[in-house]
Structure 1
Amino acid sequence: MAMRLGEKIGYGLGDTASSMLWKLFSVYLMFFYTDISGIDAWVVGVLFLVTRIWDSLLDPVVGLLCDRTHSRWGTFRPWLLWGALPFGVLGILTFYMPEWSSGGKVVYATVTYSLMMIVYSSVNVPYAALLGVMSADPHERTVLAAFRMAFAAAGSMVVVLAVEALVKAFRPWAGSSGSWIAAIAVVAVVAVLLFFVTFATTRERIRPVRTERHPVLGSLRDLLHNKPWLILAGAAVCLQVFNAFRESGTIYFFKYCVAGETVGTMSFAGVALTGSALFLAVGQLFNIAGIVLIPFAADRFGRRRTLVCALLLTAVFSFAFYFVRQGGYSLLFLAQALISLSVGGVLPLLWAMSADTADYAEQRSGRRDTGLIFSSYSMAQKMGWAVGSAATAWILSLSGFEANTVQSPAALTVIGCLQSIFPALAALGTCAFILFYPLADSRPK
């Protein structure tokens, strides 16, 4: 039985809520800490590294707790209901900085960001796992994952385009720091309301099989013997390394390789958007197009075959970017569109296939550990992002990169490779994992 369109939209809006705040953290939080709050950049880097590791390790714990939650609302939906408000409040507090000493500001930033990551995991992990119990049909899961990723990309685009305008609008009466708090408060309120919508419009249709005992060690052992999940986890690490290379390197590329960051700006709501912001916005737009198209391709050719083709195209277009990187804005934006279109549907397919690995585990063990499987997959993604971000910094350092100076030819070549060669290799690594995925058309056998 096909799910109602309203339920699919309601589910997708949950990732709009998550992605709006996550995009704020990934794009603006470092700037807020260093330029607005005056915290040393090296200290901010250590803070991010520690909290990302903590956040990654927390995900499986939340997943295990979710699997052991039983209520009249189901296993995963209650976490959305009770976690939405703390999610919004801590999002605002993360972008508030008291007038304390430098050490006090570091302590405040560490505490609030760490708490934010705890609450983020406690909402996002059950939200992701909810996909695995809303339907047992592989096609419906693919469509749900597509709705999720499309609405997430839309939320990210809205934040990229709107937050600077909100900050500018609030600055006359709120000041530099207060304008950020006001802007983030608007985003946080919207996110909280969207999580409530997701809770109200979704249903859990698959109930876990009741067993006499459900020990944690048994669940972990089953996970480590789940070959399809291990393969998807490896693919997730490689895919997030791909994303980290391209997103972390974009601003460097436009600042040092494309005749300066101020070239090619345009006005949106009275705010000048830089070339890198426009480049990222184009990527989000064509990601959405890829997400919309991927369910049709998966139905026609099968999930595994579709993934392999999409990843090979992503690698080819990424390699091609290296040769057009000095060819002007038209070629750069065309290459960005093609890369984003081809890779856009990969992540939703991987999430849909993760639900199938939960079915596979249940058939083998008689236990359904949906929360653990989805949360551990989320952990693999975050580990991949951490590895990719760290590798970007190390590669830049080894190339002789020096900030705010004219770069050497070697450094310029490496910066170009961060947008092309290195992501292409990561895409091929992702493809290699998928080639060994054992579930035909993502259906457990």
Structure 2
Amino acid sequence: MTAARSEKIGYGLGDMSSSMFWKIFSYYLPFFYSNIFGLSLEHAAVLLLVTKLWDGVSDPIMGLIADRTTSRWGRYRPYLLWIAVPFAVAGILTFTTPAWGYSAKLVWAYATYLLMMTVYTAINVPYGAMLGVVTDDSRERTVFSSYRMFFAYGGSFLALAIFEPLCDLFTRDIEKMDTARAVAAQAGGWQAAMIVVGTICALLFLLCFRLTRERVVPSESLSAGGQSVLSDMKSLAGNGPWWILLGVAVAALLFNSIRGGAAAYFFKDFVGEDNLLGGSMILTCGAFLAIGEIANMLGVVLAVPISLRIGKRMTYIWAMAVSGLLSIAFFFMPATVAGCWAMVVLQIVISAAAGITFPLLWSMYADVADYSELKHGHGSTGLIFSSSSMAQKFGGAFGSALILWLLASYGYDTSGAAVQNGEAIFGLRMLMSWLPATGCALAILLVAVYPLNETRIREIGEKLALRRAANK
């Protein structure tokens, strides 16, 4: 089944929305909680871990719900319409700092972030599962997935490019204020920036709903009550390729969340705010991350032609190997003009290689869903795709918490004018290099034993086509 380009673009707009929130939450939320909201590093670390672990647990629940949803718009697509506005509102509340005491603020942080992650699950799990029902062709799914990731990185670039300027725009003249007013103004600026971003994200999901369609009907309708939840869970537990991809996704998100989440601290305390690239060009954290998103988009474009030539599995392994090795090289870059230029070059190549991997991972999840349908005789697309979201949450949870725990263990000082000691600087350099590289190494080892090669996928597709035709 071949879909129009407008539908592929529409599908991409959904992850553009998700990625705008995801990157801001992954890259700026640890900094926000510790340096703007006012939580201790230890409390912020536990908060990020607990809420994201809950979010990961909720993903399979949402997958089961979505698999059993019936509506005139399909099984998964209606959630884009129903949850778009709550998605934006929850994000704004998470970046809201109430003028309360410390304990009350901590409760607020838990409540709003738990709400945000629950709403994120409610819209993102069905959105991801749509890849299994917009087409039944494995190569076409890789194309859909590439559109998805291209727009995802485009959204990430947009979010990272505008977020810091928006925060600055809404906190003008802060240097003229006394300390109390300046703190309140800075918190208000971050909230106002999220209002702008949240509005954009809601509109993008509504456009995704408008432009997409569900076409593939699995061989058995779960919404008709033909399959119990327990049977679904047993089938999932016995799905070997699913377990492998679950580990791959966790490892890949550890790589991304650690590098991205540590960047704000790294640039504040190691690179510095006045580090010139030559002339009047300054390498800021926002610019560094935005450059990475552009390079990610280049990687997405390369994913389809390379994978068609050497296969999804080998493409993933080589791309992740490049990302890991060059991340290690990042450790040796000095905070000089030449060092900063080298950081830019490394960021471009690392991000381009990482960008190749994500469309492949989503496409492999669709293949795993087909494998499950052929093996067990029923489709559990939402449940299987929810595992990818669950892995994102687990990887992000451990990555974000690890950043804050390590910073605390290295003696990082969160006060505004603090000068970090040598041990803290060493920790920041490790967080940008060796630690994320371990995530790459783990992902490579797991993909090396992934059993669904191109020949096996083609066989599965042919058998399912015959079964689906017979059931019509």
Q: Is TM-score (shorter-chain normalized) higher than 0.5? A: yes
Q: 1:201 to 1:54 in 2, by over 3 A?
A: same
Residue of structure 2 in register with 1:87 after alignment: 87
Shift in Å at residue 256 of structure 1? Answer: 4.3
Secondary structure, in 3 states, of the residue corresponding to 1:97?
A: coil
1:213 is the counterpart of 2:232:
no
Q: 1:323 to 1:14 in 2, by over 3 A?
A: same
Residue of structure 1 in register with 2:421 after alignment: 407
Q: 1:246 to 1:94 in 2, by over 3 A?
A: closer
Matched-pair contact (CA < 8 Å) for 1:286–1:344: yes
Matched-pair contact (CA < 8 Å) for 1:255–1:261: yes
Alignment of 1:57-206 (within 5 A): 57-171=57-171, 176-206=186-216
Q: 1:86 to 1:392 in 2, by over 3 A?
A: closer
In structure 1, stretches of 5+ residues that fail to align are none
Q: 1:411 to 1:167 in 2, by over 3 A?
A: closer
1:346-382: per-residue Cα shift (whole Å, max 9, x none)?
1111011001000000001111000000112221222
Q: Percent same amino acid among aligned pairs?
A: 43
Q: Which residue identity does 2:53 align to in structure 1?
A: I
Residue of structure 1 in register with 2:298 after alignment: 289
Shift in Å at residue 88 of structure 1? Answer: 1.6
Q: 1:246 to 1:28 in 2, by over 3 A?
A: closer
1:244 is the counterpart of 2:254:
no
TM-score by length of 1: 0.90
Secondary structure, in 3 states, of the residue corresponding to 2:329?
A: helix
Q: Structure 2 CA distance, aligned partners of 1:372 and 1:210?
A: 15
Question: Which of the residues 253, 264, 275 maps onto 2:276?
Answer: 264
1:341 is the counterpart of 2:352:
yes
Q: 1:325 to 1:293 in 2, by over 3 A?
A: farther
Residue of structure 1 in register with 2:440 after alignment: 427
Residue of structure 2 in register with 1:299 after alignment: 308
Matched-pair contact (CA < 8 Å) for 1:125–1:374: yes
1:440 is the counterpart of 2:449:
no
Q: Which residue identity does 1:133 align to in structure 2?
A: V
Q: Structure 2 CA distance, aligned partners of 1:103 and 1:393?
A: 20
Shift in Å at residue 97 of structure 1? Answer: 3.4
Q: Structure 2 CA distance, aligned partners of 1:309 and 1:285?
A: 20
Q: Which residue identity does 2:167 align to in structure 1?
A: V
Q: Structure 1 CA distance, aligned partners of 2:282 and 2:334?
A: 20
Shift in Å at residue 76 of structure 1? Answer: 0.2
Report which stretch shifted further, 326-335 or 340-349.
Answer: 326-335
Q: Structure 1 CA distance, aligned partners of 2:230 and 2:247?
A: 22
What CA RMSD, in Å, does the superposition of the two structures yield over aligned residues? 2.7
Report which stretch shifted further, 94-103 or 302-311.
Answer: 94-103
Q: Structure 2 CA distance, aligned partners of 1:176 and 1:417?
A: 30
- How many residues get paired? 440
Q: 1:316 to 1:89 in 2, by over 3 A?
A: closer
Secondary structure, in 3 states, of the residue corresponding to 1:2?
A: coil
Matched-pair contact (CA < 8 Å) for 1:265–1:275: no
Q: 1:247 to 1:86 in 2, by over 3 A?
A: same
Q: Structure 1 CA distance, aligned partners of 2:302 and 2:319?
A: 11
Residue of structure 2 in register with 1:350 after alignment: 361
1:56-113: per-residue Cα shift (whole Å, max 9, x none)?
1111100000001011111001111111111122222223334333333333332222
Residue of structure 1 in register with 2:463 after alignment: none
Q: Which residue identity does 1:298 align to in structure 2?
A: S
Q: Structure 1 CA distance, aligned partners of 2:410 and 2:200?
A: 43
Matched-pair contact (CA < 8 Å) for 1:133–1:204: yes
Matched-pair contact (CA < 8 Å) for 1:150–1:291: yes
Q: Which residue identity does 2:130 align to in structure 1?
A: L
TM-score by length of 2: 0.85
Report which stretch shifted further, 273-282 or 56-65.
Answer: 273-282
Q: Which residue identity does 1:224 align to in structure 2?
A: A
Residue of structure 2 in register with 1:378 after alignment: 389
Residue of structure 2 in register with 1:416 after alignment: 429
Q: Structure 2 CA distance, aligned partners of 1:417 and 1:177?
A: 30
1:313-340: per-residue Cα shift (whole Å, max 9, x none)?
2233223333445651121211111111
Q: Structure 1 CA distance, aligned partners of 2:65 and 2:269?
A: 47
Q: 1:396 to 1:91 in 2, by over 3 A?
A: closer
Report which stretch shifted further, 208-217 or 112-121.
Answer: 208-217
Q: 1:324 to 1:96 in 2, by over 3 A?
A: closer
Matched-pair contact (CA < 8 Å) for 1:254–1:276: yes
Shift in Å at residue 398 of structure 1? Answer: 5.1
Matched-pair contact (CA < 8 Å) for 1:37–1:97: yes
Matched-pair contact (CA < 8 Å) for 1:256–1:407: no
Matched-pair contact (CA < 8 Å) for 1:16–1:155: yes
Q: 1:275 to 1:95 in 2, by over 3 A?
A: closer
Q: Structure 1 CA distance, aligned partners of 2:315 and 2:168?
A: 44
Q: Structure 1 CA distance, aligned partners of 2:91 and 2:73?
A: 26
Matched-pair contact (CA < 8 Å) for 1:266–1:274: no
Q: Structure 2 CA distance, aligned partners of 1:389 and 1:44?
A: 9
Report which stretch shifted further, 171-180 or 135-144.
Answer: 171-180
Shift in Å at residue 192 of structure 1? Answer: 1.2
Secondary structure, in 3 states, of the residue corresponding to 2:276?
A: coil
Matched-pair contact (CA < 8 Å) for 1:86–1:119: yes
Residue of structure 2 in register with 1:254 after alignment: 267
Q: 1:248 to 1:186 in 2, by over 3 A?
A: closer
Q: 1:305 to 1:412 in 2, by over 3 A?
A: same
Residue of structure 2 in register with 1:315 after alignment: 324
Q: Structure 1 CA distance, aligned partners of 2:259 and 2:291?
A: 13
Q: Structure 1 CA distance, aligned partners of 2:366 and 2:46?
A: 34
1:389 is the counterpart of 2:389:
no
Q: 1:239 to 1:36 in 2, by over 3 A?
A: closer
